[in-house]
Amino acid sequence: MNDKVSVITGGGSGMGLATAKIVGKNSKVIIVGRNKAKLERAVIELRVQGIEALHFACDLADSKSAEMLANFAKEQGKITAVIHAAGMSPHMGEAQKIMEANALGTININNAFFPHMDTGSCIVDVSSMSAYLTPKILMPTKIYPLARQDKDHFMRKMMARVNLFPTKLRSSIAYGISKHFVIWFAKTDAARFGEKGARVISVTPGTFETPMEELEKDEATPYLKYCAIKRLGQVEEIAQLLAAVVDERMGYLTGADIICDGGCIASRMAQVRSL
């Protein structure tokens, strides 16, 4: 095995694990999550397939944990890919936790790995189609730049916006806003990483058959009627995309968001515009 290292957060199941099975054919894989037992089971599954795999359990909402992960990955070899697929959906926690996991987690991952990445390497920050389907008027885009100035102030301002809404809506609002921020942060981080010859992009998945989707099934299923492809996505399909965009041969692709949602966003927007 060469010295290439791919880091995949949310790698214990779903699209993260499916992606590990692809990129692990050409690099060592470190899968990351909060549940150590889950990660250990995933590592066994990967090793059975002949993949050199390690795990690292941590909470990426904590910047120190993210830095420890990045240092651990650097010790394993040359970091060529970081696929940040970890996150929380509205049914997985309260609004504050969702904002910390999705927005703060993305800030911490990009910042922690920045010193360790160079020419040919790539970070992918995974968003959600909620970033597009949540009304734009709700997005506090003027707050986003604070993420690079004062993270604590940024979080207070973001949560102040979320807390304007009724309690029962806050988790969903926090999710949509946090995932919209992920796209903004990845795009605006491309120049910083580009100075080192590295790339940053975001990928926006639609509804895929994953453990997270099962929790959101009642809310997500109705969107299938808007999809150009009338079915849920398979994790292998999004995994192929994630693995492709971190490939060094895609070296001119950066600062962009790639949507993989079966045509849901495009079809929904077309319908809204026709009203």
Cβ partners under 8 Å of residue 160, min gap 6: none
How high is the pLDDT of residue 267?
A: 78
Query: What secondary structure letter does DSSP report for 229?
Result: S
**Count of CB atoms within 10 A of residue 183's CB?**
22
How high is the pLDDT of residue 29?
A: 98
Question: Is 60 within 8 Å of 9 (Cβ atoms)?
Answer: yes
Digit-coded pLDDT (tens) for 29-47: 999 999 999 999 999 999 9
CA atoms within 13 A on the CB side of 114: 15
Residue 275 pLDDT greater than 80, yes or no: no
Q: State the Cα angle at 233 between 269 and 255, rounded to 5°.
A: 60
Question: Is 55 within 8 Å of 43 (Cβ atoms)?
Answer: yes
Q: How far apart are CA 18 and CA 3, in angstroms?
A: 21
What is the CATH superfamily name and number for domain 4-274?
Answer: NAD(P)-binding Rossmann-like Domain (3.40.50.720)
Digit-coded pLDDT (tens) for 65-87: 999 999 999 999 999 999 999 99
For the chain, the structural domain boundaries read 4-274
**Average pLDDT rounded to a whole number, residues 215-232:** 73
How high is the pLDDT of residue 236?
A: 95
How high is the pLDDT of residue 266?
A: 86
Digit-coded pLDDT (tens) for 193-209: 999 999 999 999 998 88
Say which amino acid occupies 143: I
How high is the pLDDT of residue 2?
A: 67
